[in-house]
Amino acid sequence: MADYTIRPAIPSDGAFLADMVVEAANWRAGATRPKPTVFADPVSRGYIAGWQRPADTGFVALDGDAEPIGAAWYRLFAADTPAHGFVAAGVPELIIGVQPLWRAQGVGRTLMRSLTDAARAAGYARITLSVEHGNFAHALYRSEGFAVVGTRGGRDTMVRVLG
Ligand SMILES: CC(C)(COP(=O)(O)OP(=O)(O)OC[C@H]1O[C@@H](n2cnc3c(N)ncnc32)[C@H](O)[C@@H]1OP(=O)(O)O)[C@@H](O)C(=O)NCCC(=O)NCCS
């Protein structure tokens, strides 16, 4: 059993969350897009810009030395703000990343569950995300109750009804 803990994300987690956006952008084996290239994309910038806004909610996983090893968070986007998984105003979009050494040990699933529980508790009816075709994370999202609601530009938008 991997030794990690989960805590709510705080304003000073912004730099680590930015690292997780870079991990998410480099999910493909062998991908090495550096941080400046990733954040030249306004969509990538939008996932962390101004963290932590009032409606921003997230969780950070920590190793035994209290160092961050993964994070999942959501934020709200407006219809005119670029975000890959936008479905409607008022539906938060989930972003997730786990450091390579810690993948496939249950950290991502644990973070997702904490986040979807928090979204439900905050009163949201749905939560959305975007995943590129071929990413194994698709299987994780399906198994956590997300379903594909649209496809564009090699990406699926997946939504979970929180009910
Ligand atoms: C996607 C990611 C967040 C998942 O977190 P994780 O901690 O690795 O995932 P978990 O260990 O909780 O695994 C959950 C499920 O993902 C799938 N999975 C995990 N690792 C996998 C692998 N190497 N190959 C295939 N499927 C895998 C499985 O369905 C697994 O469920 P199971 O353990 O019941 O079989 C993480 O791997 C990651 O950061 N990847 C790179 C960035 C990325 O792709 N981000 C998402 C962009 S949309």
154 in any annotated domain: no
Q: Which residues contact 139 (CB under 8 A, 6 or more apart)?
A: none
Q: Give the binding-site residues of ligand 1, using a 6 Å CB cut-off.
A: 23-24, 27, 96-98, 103-109, 131, 135-137, 139-140, 143
What's 33's DSSP letter? -
Mean pLDDT, residues 144-160:
97
CATH of the domain at 95: 3.40.630.30
Domain of residue 102, residue span: 5-124
145 in any annotated domain: no
Residue owning the nearest CA to atom 9 of ligand 1? 108
Rounded CA separation 43/120 (Å): 25
The model's pLDDT over 46-80, given as tens digits with 9 standing for 90+, comes to 999 999 999 999 999 999 999 999 999 999 999 99
Residue owning the nearest CA to atom 12 of ligand 1? 106
Domain count along the chain: 1
* Phi, psi (deg, nearest 5) at residue 71: -155, 150
* Phi, psi (deg, nearest 5) at residue 45: -60, -40
pLDDT at residue 74 in the model: 98
Ligand 1 atom with the smallest distance to the CA of 72 is 3
Q: What is the DSSP string of 6-33?
A: EEE--GGGHHHHHHHHHHHHT-STT---
Residue owning the nearest CA to atom 7 of ligand 1? 108
The model's pLDDT over 11-46, given as tens digits with 9 standing for 90+, comes to 999 999 999 999 999 999 999 999 999 999 999 999
135 in any annotated domain: no
